[in-house]
Each structure stands twice: as C-alpha cells, then as structure tokens.
Structure 1
Amino acid sequence: MEIPRPWCKLLFLCSFFLLHACAAQTQIIEDNVETVTRENLRYYLYYPQDYEADGDKSFGLLLFLHGGGEAGGDLEEIKQNGPPKLLVEGKQFPFLVLAPQNPHKKKWWNAEAVKQLLDSVVTTNNVDVSRIYLTGLSRGGSAAWELATQYPNTFAAMAVVCGMTPLPYAHWIDKNMPIWVFHGEDDNVIAVEESDKMVEKLRKMNYKVRYTRYGNVGHNSWERAYTTDSLYTWFANQKRIR
C-alpha cells in the first residue's frame, strides 16, 4: 500500500460513542440510566519511511496532544508546533506519530475519546504496544498528565511541556514509566510551580523523572523542548516493562 510522506492525508473523521455526563441521547438499561454522547476527532497519522503495512516489523507510536491555540479550527493548525511542525519541516521519526485535534476551542481534551482513537490506530497498524509514547504541550500537556493517571498501563514514556498537573493523583502514574518535564520559568499562563511541585512529588516517590526548567522563557517553552533532538532519541530507547 502506498503511503504518502511525510504525512498521510487526513485518514478519518472519527466518531466515538462515549459514556459522558452531557448526553446527546439517553436510554434506560435494566433500571439504570446510561447517557451517550458523540465526540468527533480529526487527526493526522505519520508513518516512518520504512513502514510497510503488510510487513512483519512493528513500530513505536508517539501520541502528540497540541495546545489550546490549535483547537477547534482547521486541522492544518496542529502543524504549527511540536512534532507536527517538525514533520512539515522535513524531520523524520523512527516511529508513527498520531496527532489528533481537540474539536473544542474552550474545552479540555476528552481523554476517553483520545484513548479510544489511540486504541483504534494501534490495532489497525503495525504498532508495538510496548513502545507507545505520550507527549503534549500546554492544554495538551495537562491532558497528557490525565492520560497517564487514567491509563497507567499504556505508555512506555511521557514528555510534558508546560502543562497543569494532577498533583494529588501523582501516585496513580505507572512508577516504571520514564517522564521528562519541560517548563519555562517566566510562564505567565501555566505557572512553572505546577511542574516544580509535580516533579518534586514524583521524585520523592522514586519515579524516573527528568526536568528541564528554562530560564528567561515564557509559556512558549515548547519551541525549545520539541527541538531538543535528544528527546526523540530518549523516546525511541524506551520500552514498556510488563
């Protein structure tokens, strides 16, 4: 199967039926009320150059979650930052890159929908489930922390850039998953103390955490974090411990 490089065209407009508090439909099941809503996630999926759909080789996959500025609009907007931007500029990765778009300008990522999309992509491609990586910036960084707490048995490694943290639930994260945190000291949108406190707590619990704290950098710390070549080498060297 011929796969365009470096991006596949928009593959699917995905609709997932999810249990959710705000329902589009309500049904009664054995005297219990079940509410159902639909979430539409559009996404780009990048394949490495040596990927073969019918081959025996399996690949890692990096799930990237963008920030609030790229939400809800044209799908092309997700190429403004992070790994998608690097792909447009010609960078190649040794793993697949899944980059969905949050359809809501002023809502959080729907973590359950993202996980269902990830599961669908993994099962329909040659993905090594022990090498699934997670990263996000700003609002997407907050969602990355959320996914790590809700689905601790999924990811081999995680990198979070200037995201809000679920400090009280830090112990829910898989202790064997390496974490790399990036934040700018002068961030006036999501304070650097969010990452400071989370890293401190994780280290006290003997988690594997690296922390890059940029001096004289504001909220746009992703511009430096995602151009750190060693980040992708670090990802590629990680494998989930079963």
Structure 2
Amino acid sequence: MKHYALTITVLLNLIFLSHLQGQTNELYDKGIITSGFDSLPYRFTKPKNYDPALKYPLIIFLHGSGERGADNELQLKHGASFFASDSIRDKYPAIVVFPQCDTNNSWHNGTYAFTSGKGQYSFPKEIKENISLNLVEILIREFQMQFNIDSDRMYLGGLSMGAMGTYEMVNRNPNKFAAAFAICGGANPEIAERLQFTGCWIFHGEADDVVPVEWSEHMYEAIKKKSGDVKISIYPNVKHDSWTNAFNEPELMEWLFSNHKN
C-alpha cells in the first residue's frame, strides 16, 4: 500500500510540475527569423504592463546542447521560469529572449576530440563563421527595430554550450553587451583581450564531470589579467547542473542590471 501511495505522490508531483512549466511557457510568445536557407526559432517575453514609450533592457539567453532542435519549446527548459517569475518581472522589467539552436549546429566553434581516454574541446582564438550566432545577431537587430530597447543595457547569458556561445558572442561583439553571465562553460582564454570590456560573472560546479571547472577558472584568470570586470562563483560538490545554483544567486539580477555600457 505504501508503494502505491508513493507512486501516486510522484505522479501528482510530475503533473504539477508539468502544469507549472506549461504556465511558464505561455508567458513566452513564439517567433522565428530566417536568413537565406537558415532559420532560428525563438521565444520571448515582455515586461508586465509593457509601455512602448519606455526603454527596456534586452536579455538573450543561450541554452545547452540538450535543448537544441526546432520545436521552439526545449530552449525554455532551464532559466525560463526564473525570468518569468513575478519577483523578477516586478523588480527587473526586461525583454527576455530564448533562441533555439538547430540540432546540427552549435552556439560555439569549438572542436571536440577524444584523446588520452577523455574528451576535450579545442576553442579557436580567431572569430569564425557561425550560422547560429549570425542568426542571433540578426535577431538582436530585429528586436531593436521592433521594440524600444535600451542599447546601453543589453545582456547575454548561457549555460554549458550556451555559456561557450556567450563567450564567443562577446568576442564577436566586444562593445555590444553591458554584461554577460556564463554557467559551466569555457572558451579560449586568449580571447580575454576582447572580453575585458563586458562585465562578466562566471559560474561552475566544482565536481562538474561534463565541462571541467578549470575551463571557467582559466577564463576568469585571463579576463582578470586584462583588468576586466569579472567575478566567479564555484560551487563545491555540484556537478554539471550549476545553473540551479546560479539562478538561486540573490544578487544575480541586481548585478546584471547594475551594468551599463555608458
């Protein structure tokens, strides 16, 4: 009898969580942009009581590799409920956009190789062509034309593959974003030269068995060496899902909104 009661409780919890996720997703409108033969689905939410006469910050969030696709749903798996919560929307009104990377593409240009018994990424220093990031840049321009975006308060963030893309996006656009946050990502430390002009908060789980914590530590040290405005949070005993910790940081949004380009 206890077994059945436990099973029912688990099922009810799953149904409840699914219902909450559905409510969150409803707050995000759907869109898609195209450029030639390429397309980028995206979801976005506007501030409560949106007033087109007012300027608003723009937040772009890049998802991880597991949320790639074309369903325009999966990219809301992590982070969407955070930005859609009443406490965040009331205090930090912004236009928040979740683009979705195609399954066959990536937010970054790192190459993966399996050597010496383990996998390893190699990240380029030079800026290379990237279809997905090209589309994100087009998407940003579209939002700037469609909405009253405060160009001094454009922010970028991402997790895992999306954090790698966050570094790469700032490298491509060193003067565009006021601040960026990278959760369990990595990049070539040599690009710190172009990242030093953007406020950066780096997050990582110390026990991450997917993306080594050293990658974030190396980026932190490289940006700091260039006198960039950078901070890092390493979570003991946390594996790859350090985004849970990052989104629970009470100062995350206050820090983000404190950054302005001018």
Question: Please, what TM-score do these two structures have when normalized by structure 1?
Answer: 0.82
Confirm whether residue 85 of structure 1 aligns to residue 81 of structure 2.
Answer: yes
Give the residue type in structure 2 aligned to 1:139.
M
C-alpha separation in 2, matches of 1:87 and 1:200: 29
1:227 is displaced (CA, Å) by 2.3
Q: Which secondary structure does the structure 2 equivalent of 1:176 belong to? A: coil
Aligned position for 1:9? 29
Give the residue type in structure 2 aligned to 1:81.
H
1:73 is displaced (CA, Å) by 4.6
1:176 is displaced (CA, Å) by 3.2
C-alpha separation in 1, matches of 2:64 and 2:170: 17
Q: Of residues 142, 150, 162 in structure 1, which corresponds to 2:172?
A: 150
Give the residue type in structure 1 aligned to 2:144.
V
User: Is 1:178–1:208's contact at 8 Å kept on the other side of the alignment?
Assistant: yes
C-alpha separation in 2, matches of 1:64 and 1:85: 12
Confirm whether residue 117 of structure 1 aligns to residue 139 of structure 2.
Answer: yes
Matches within 5 A, 1:190-229: 190-229=211-250
Confirm whether residue 47 of structure 1 aligns to residue 46 of structure 2.
Answer: yes
User: Is 1:58–1:126's contact at 8 Å kept on the other side of the alignment?
Assistant: yes
Q: 1:85 to 1:154 in 2, by over 3 A?
A: same
Aligned position for 1:62? 59
C-alpha separation in 1, matches of 2:29 and 2:197: 35
Structure 2 residue runs without a partner (length 5+): 1-24, 108-131
Confirm whether residue 166 of structure 1 aligns to residue 166 of structure 2.
Answer: no
1:86 is displaced (CA, Å) by 2.0
Confirm whether residue 108 of structure 1 aligns to residue 106 of structure 2.
Answer: yes
C-alpha separation in 1, matches of 2:178 and 2:201: 12
C-alpha separation in 2, matches of 1:172 and 1:236: 21
Q: Which secondary structure does the structure 1 equivalent of 2:73 belong to? A: helix
C-alpha separation in 1, matches of 2:204 and 2:261: 25
C-alpha separation in 1, matches of 2:169 and 2:191: 12
Deviation >3 Å, runs of 4+: 87-91
User: Is 2:58–2:96's contact at 8 Å kept on the other side of the alignment?
Assistant: yes
C-alpha separation in 1, matches of 2:70 and 2:182: 23
* Identity of matched residues, %: 30
The alignment's C-alpha RMSD in Å is: 1.7
C-alpha separation in 2, matches of 1:123 and 1:75: 22
C-alpha separation in 2, matches of 1:9 and 1:168: 38
1:6 is displaced (CA, Å) by 6.9
User: Is 2:210–2:240's contact at 8 Å kept on the other side of the alignment?
Assistant: yes
Q: Which secondary structure does the structure 2 equivalent of 1:207 belong to? A: coil
Structure 1 residue runs without a partner (length 5+): 18-37
Aligned position for 2:127? none
C-alpha separation in 2, matches of 1:209 and 1:87: 22
For residues 49-92 of structure 1, give each alpha carbon's deviation from its aligned partner in whole angstroms, at most 9, with x where no partner exists: 13223x2x10101110011111115322222111x132455552
User: Is 1:71–1:103's contact at 8 Å kept on the other side of the alignment?
Assistant: yes
C-alpha separation in 2, matches of 1:149 and 1:46: 26
Give the residue type in structure 2 aligned to 1:78.
Q
Question: Please, what TM-score do these two structures have when normalized by structure 2?
Answer: 0.76
User: Is 2:83–2:96's contact at 8 Å kept on the other side of the alignment?
Assistant: no
